[in-house]
Structure 1
Amino acid sequence: MGGRPGALSADGSRRKPFMNWISPPETVRRFTPHQLLQHWIAGALWVVLVVSSLAAGAGFAGSRSLHATAGIAGLFLLGYHAIVLAAIGIRSDMPAEQIAFLPWGREWADLRRRKGIGAEAGKYSPAEKGDYLAILAWSVLLTASGIALRWPSSIGVPGASAYDWIRTAHAGFGAALTVHLLVVHIPERWRNAPGDLRRAIFTGTVPLREAERRKGWVRDLVARGILVPTPETVESAEERESVEVRELLERGNRLAREGKFGEACISYGEALRLLPDYSQARFNLAVALLRDGRGEEAREQLMIFLEKDPFNPMVEKAREMLDGPGKGSV
């Protein structure tokens, strides 16, 4: 087995890969065969519904029955889709955002800002999830109004006026879904999409280089064992110690922001034990000690700070803490 030294971009130029992998696959799956089947059935039903609706408006015989039949088939497909999504999520113990393709967490903010596909995107970007959500929402409204029109007495439609109102709403929902598909879905998911993603609508897979453009997708592939990173170079003891010192400083800063000054002092002290000349850790320790009510200890650390690093940019601040109005507490 060997690691792959690089990857080719869409235009054939060599670019730096997200990571090196052990025996990476040439392609990764974007859609399962089951998803592709549902996609094409839904697309065929949409075409039948649009054509039969136009034919009914023109007075062609049998078009209303065809429209109703396609609508019922769409109802069953929508229910089946929801059940399958829930079943996959429960069986595979996967979070909802990876199954239902819905915008999740900060993805809503990215969607509102109309942010493009960033490097941190997962298999499905916020824009792709928003597209799916819009199609799902219009489909649900269209289905609900269609049920009311097909079985008005069972639903409890009060009269002819309400029935006409529902029919108008049903036509509006259908028009909204059609406009979204023609203006957003088809152009963005097909016409303007990279060729590899367009082909995925038929094959279900994309080249690994396309997945590597999205770090969230790569992390998911690694977690599932599809991609195996090559072992990293062993760090030297000094490098490990340097990383540990930075982590201790960051931990101390986080604890201080949370008001846990005593615990922050412990982290800063441990960083100084590993690297006694680390001026930033010493200054932060002095501030944390002061806020923890340990003025004499803070004063001692500030004096050491001034002695060891007299040209540090924080020297003036340290002197103000020693000599300023609050010196009685230092």
Structure 2
Amino acid sequence: MMRTRRNMLIWTGLLLFCLSGAAQAQTAGTTTASAATVKKAVVVCFGDSITQGYQGNTRTAYPAYLPDMLDPTAFTIVNAGKGGEATYSGVERIADVLTKHAPKHVIIMEGANDIIQGISPATTAFNLENMAQQAKAAGATPVMSTITPNSEPNHAPENYNPLIVTAAANGGYTLVDTYSRLITDWKNLTFDGLHPTRVGAQKIAEGFAEQIKTLKSSEEQAASGGGGGGGCFIATAAYGSALEPQVVLLRKFRDLRLLTNGPGRAFVAWYYQHSPPAADFIARHELLRLGARAALLPLLATAWLLVEATLAQQAALLLAAALLLMAARRNRRRA
């Protein structure tokens, strides 16, 4: 009787061991299968013919070049451009696009037709911000853009872009200054004064690809609690999110300017060692967050100048600074 009971316990243990092994194998198989079928992030490119491609020519459509600039295993690019569309139509159309594709990121670049149709800059900026709000409400990260150049003197995106920049800043949305990327060589980047050539489309895609990569890196760092190149702790505490444009700009400044030289790397290492406690304290006090934002303004201006500004913009600012210094010296001499 004892031997029979002992045998039953042994066989029961063996059976449980086998079942456990089978369960583990099934779980491993499921994990492997799910890892192999990871859903790629959808990037929707929303806009007019500059997005769609002039008269259906994809060689002049910037979305055609994004797959080569982004990881094709991680992103699916959707061209949701519609030729001739103005922003008021885009406001109505974008909801269906968001529902259909459920994107992770939405690139929004419209307004060229608003200029041609005489729609006011304020209305255009309002409509673009509305599209960004819809994208964010749908769970996507909007990436706004300034309007591309136009060779027609009566069609001036220069009157529209400042309001678009302000709208993006007010909403806390990422902005790509596509206009500045093209204007210095626009005559060689357009074939009709409005639509970009193949090279122009590639330059547009480069700007958006840079931002998508930055957003992806920020999301990965946030999900892992840091890592990689580390986080901008105080800026994140001040602005409330690692995805805010100001924090993204400072990370780009760190990666492109500080981490490329010895003194910069030493400063970053010191910062990572000493800033987390201060960032935690700042994050818990609203007045300190406001004060930190104000204190970061000179650094943000420097970062923009060194990372985002074109050569023409940098030269203009240096010239303005030189003129101010000369004027100050003259005043001192007179005094």
Q: Same fold (TM over 0.5)?
A: no
Q: Which has the higher contact order (CA 8 A, sep 6+)?
A: 1
Larger radius of gyration: 1
TM-score range, shorter chain: under 0.3
